[in-house]
Amino acid sequence: MQKLAKKLIEIMKDCAYITKNGINNFHNYKYATSADVLEKVNTAMVKQGICSTAVPEIISIDEVTTAKGNTE
C-alpha cells in the first residue's frame, strides 16, 4: 500500500497545475477543459505505471432563469 501511496503523491505533484485552454467568451474567462484534465492525469498515471478508466455521466440537467430573464 505504501508503494501505491507514493505513486499517487507523485501523480498529485505532476497534476498540481493544469493549463486553462478552454475559453468562455460569454462570461470572459478561461478554464481547464475535461480533456485538459484527463490528458494531464493520464500522462502522470502512465508515468507511475498506473492505469485508469473514465466513465462520463450526466447526474442532472437543470434550467435556470438569469437576472435578465433568460433561460439557460
Domain extent listing, the chain: 2-47
Q: Report the interhelical angle of 34-47 vs 2-14 (nearest 10°).
A: 140
Average pLDDT value over all residues in the chain? 93
pTM score, two decimals? 0.64
Tell me: pLDDT of 10 over 80: yes
- Pairwise CA distance, residues 29 & 19, whole Å: 13
* Residue of 35, 33, 42, 55 lying closest to 14 (CA atoms): 42
Contact by Cβ (8 Å): 64, 72: yes
What pLDDT does 1 receive? Answer: 77
**Span 19-53, pLDDT tens digits:** 999 999 999 999 999 999 999 999 999 999 999 88
Cell, residue 14: 505532476
